Amino acid sequence: RAYSLVDSSQVSTFLISILLIVYGSFRSLNMDFENQDKEKDNSNASGSFNGNSTNNSIQTIDSTQALFLPIGASVSLLVMFFFFDSVQVVFTICTAVLATIAFAFLLLPMCQYLTRPCSPQNKISFGCCGRFTAAELLSFSLSVMLVLIWVLTGHWLLMDALAMGLCVAMIAFVRLPSLKVSCLLLSGLLIYDVFWVFFSAYIFNSNVMVKVATQPADNPLDVLSRKLHLGPNVGRDVPRLSLPGKLVFPSSTGSHFSMLGIGDIVMPGLLLCFVLRYDNYKKQANSDSCGAPGPGNISGRMQKVSYFHCTLIGYFVGLLTATVASRIHRAAQPALLYLVPFTLLPLLTMAYLKGDLRRMWSEPFHSKSSSSRFLEV
């Protein structure tokens, strides 16, 4: 009976979401290593070291932003619910631009591997547009091609590819600095998710979250052909677009699609990225202190269990629970209602048992000037 509650589309959702979180977290950690080595090179060249220097492209969420993010998301949801017909073209174009950049970031390691034997890593100047390597140009060209094909066909697989790029880019470039901010953000988003899925129908006579997530948008090519009066056969056969704010996978029978919003991947993914960085930070701190043992009341086996693996298992169990609940109740479920407790509670318990809770709660990461080896992703 338990097996019948999960079909092939949901198994695909499980695997893809976990792979995206793991890949995005390691890309984020790799970026930290690169920044540390660049800071070390700069300090060797200038004779001084600034431990507070950071990559300007990385956005760190503070407590105030964590508290107001669910409010901003609610306002955006209402705008899309009430004024979707007015803003759908602008929203589709903005989403396509962001998805192009994000998918190029996703393809960049593969393009670097392909161009390494036959092309130097020197950057090519494009005037005011900046300087780019051959791998960056190749990844961006492939990304633009994929977005154009998606606009022309509207295929769900291409939409999933763009959503994957958005997930990885957001996990890699957005950081949670402490466990306190993580708890504030995820708790607020849990309330946001539960309200808009379970209670919005009582106020707006419609499930706002489900309607916004599943409503297709007009194709920009169709809108452009109508505005320019290009004729009835020009641009009119393009499909409406389901926007890449979610992952969808068809069932084996093709009767329905399994859907998971990218917020249900990115937000727990930010927590997993935080604990992965903390595991690495603690490992470096222990190596600097010549392998000092942990608290005496914790066994050595418990000390070897990483926070990342514990939280990742909690994410999988929470996602499985959300899927079973949706099949039992035959209705959309707020995935964060299950994902947040299954990720935060084991993490808080393990941090308390290991004696790391106070340090993880409020202490930010320290920049380390020591060189670090890159992780191969």
Annotated active-site positions, please?
193, 264
Burial 86-119 (b: 16+ CB within 10 A, else e): eebbebbeebbebbbebbbbbbbbebbeebeeee
CB of 37 closer than 8 Å to CB of 53: no
Query: How big, in percent rounded to 5, are the helix, strand and coil portions of the chain?
Result: 70, 5, 25
Please name the residue that has the structure tokens 């942990």: 294
Alpha-carbon gap, residue 172 to 108, rounded angstroms:
13
Distance CA 91, CA 242 (A): 12
Closest to 270 in 3D by CA, of 170, 373, 121: 170
CA angle 184-185-186, nearest 5°?
100
Separation of alpha carbons 195 and 189, rounded Å: 10
Q: Do the Cβ atoms of 162 and 244 come closer than 8 Å? A: yes
CA distance 286 to 366: 14
Tell me the C-alpha distance between 349 and 355, whole Å.
10
Sequence-ordered list of residues with C-beta below 8 angstroms from that of 138, at least 6 positions apart, any chain:
111, 114, 115
How far, in Å, CA of 238 to CA of 215, rounded?
Answer: 17
Burial (CB count within 10 angstroms: exposed 0-12, middle 13-18, buried 19+), residue 282: middle
